Structure 1
């Protein structure tokens, strides 16, 4: 069972809205809007079974201090696009289509776990749009060893345990008044077990080992050094493949974005600063 007893304090959440994207439907977006910063906007890509805000809320304000930040629910997750199919390639194309609607040309993709795979695909499919990459708890493939398969099975069981009964889905994300843990569970329950299963299958197909060394934009890798889902050695391998990539170890596990937010932030913030300093609009 995944314990959400130690989630980061929610506090006051930024205001978001549903945004229509032609040909794709609508998705929930939080966008700080244009700023005076000359840095490329940060486009935040969330983990599997999460919403955008559930993955990134502990870090949103500090990232927003660096410039424009956009976080959204990816397809089949939270209030993301309700489409007939789900592939990670679709998710990458969704991100660019949303950027078009928001008037964003080039951006830095900041991805966590599944989001790191989408970030890699964004560079591969839309290199002209990606000014830099921050890859957190990342992998080049999910050819899982037995121990890793056990970890993924535990995640699947946790999804089933938190799955809402019919008609019990929280109507909105504005639940911090009910407590931090209640809000986090409400966010978690916005993605159905079926959607998580499909996304997990697509994650299992992902393999960038043949082309990850071709990535030629400023990149930083945040390594979750106590990760039992993705061995740290495989995360560090990614940093070695990408020319000039900076690497930051954080002493925490795979769900550290929320459950060990302070420690994770100690790597995320310098990683983003490193890429911002090297990226150009």
Structure 2
């Protein structure tokens, strides 16, 4: 039964992922972070180009969330992905806290010798990106926040209960389905859907409850007005998970933040990537232009993005 389910899901994955073959993803390696643990990291693109950290959503991996956009970004950016704690080949720890994830990002930057970078996050990754700025301000030159908000729905008691119910169902599913061997995640496959399934099931769904608690502990509403770096907010206008109104809170609450729109739902970074890639790359470019303007005119203070 499990193999039949996987094949069925694979066909569904294949239908929507076909335009972006998995062979285009960069290779990576496990990086040991002193005092923290091992984490899988990819580092692609020109080494002397501006660095962009791509921070993934919950229940995905660095590559599964971002692989469609990486080739386009690599044309002019150094792009780093990493698996967050308990996702894919991320660090295994006793707790799941987005603050720890943010500190892991800074630790990866240390190991790669990257001083400053743009932090770009999708959904959960958007919360992590905001925390990287808050906890390591001297490292972050800009933010790109996609399909995310200043808090997650797990802050709502009713929605939290729903998340736990979903978690119990997913935990049962995870136990009966075949789990991929982590060392085989990069093995060649005949179809993108099989690669995507390996990536997806590399995250133990038995930790759904912990992920919900970690997301529920994040809330930037009290301090997002202090964010003082160029910021782009990519709003998925058909989103039913992080509704557009909540995404707009970032546009309204972060000084000089600029809004970009993508005609897609919450998984638009992959399922409908053809609509996501152009505005996302434009959003990254806008942050880079503003960062360069600030560096060129240090007496003018922090540069802002163009008017909304």
Task: After TM superposition, give the deviation of residue 267 of structure 1 in Å.
Answer: 1.6
- Tell me what 1:119 maps to: 129
Quick one: which of 47, 66, 77 aligns to 2:76?
Answer: 66
TM alignment of 1:1-281, pairs within 5 A: 4=13, 5-7=15-17, 8-32=20-44, 35-37=47-49, 39=50, 41-143=51-153, 156=167, 159-160=170-171, 163=174, 165=176, 168-170=179-181, 171-175=183-187, 177-280=189-292
- Higher share of residues assigned helix: 2
Task: After TM superposition, give the deviation of residue 6 of structure 1 in Å.
Answer: 1.2
Aligned counterparts of 2:280 and 2:158: Cα–Cα separation in 1: 27
Aligned counterparts of 2:122 and 2:107: Cα–Cα separation in 1: 20
Kindly tell me the number of residue pairs found equivalent between the two proteins: 279
TM-score norm. by structure 1 comes to 0.90
Per-residue displacement from partner, 1:103-132 (whole Å, max 9, x unpaired)?
Answer: 011110000000000000011111111000
Kept after mapping to 2: 8 A contact 1:221/1:245 = yes
Task: After TM superposition, give the deviation of residue 161 of structure 1 in Å.
Answer: 7.4
- Relative to structure 1, the CA distance from residue 176 to residue 200 in structure 2 (aligned partners, 3 Å threshold; closer, same or farther) is farther
SS at match of 1:256: coil
Kept after mapping to 1: 8 A contact 2:62/2:81 = yes
Structure 1 residue runs of 5 or longer lacking an equivalent are none
C-alpha root-mean-square deviation of aligned residues, in Å? 2.6
Structure 2 residue runs of 5 or longer lacking an equivalent are 296-308
TM-score norm. by structure 2 comes to 0.83
Task: After TM superposition, give the deviation of residue 262 of structure 1 in Å.
Answer: 0.7
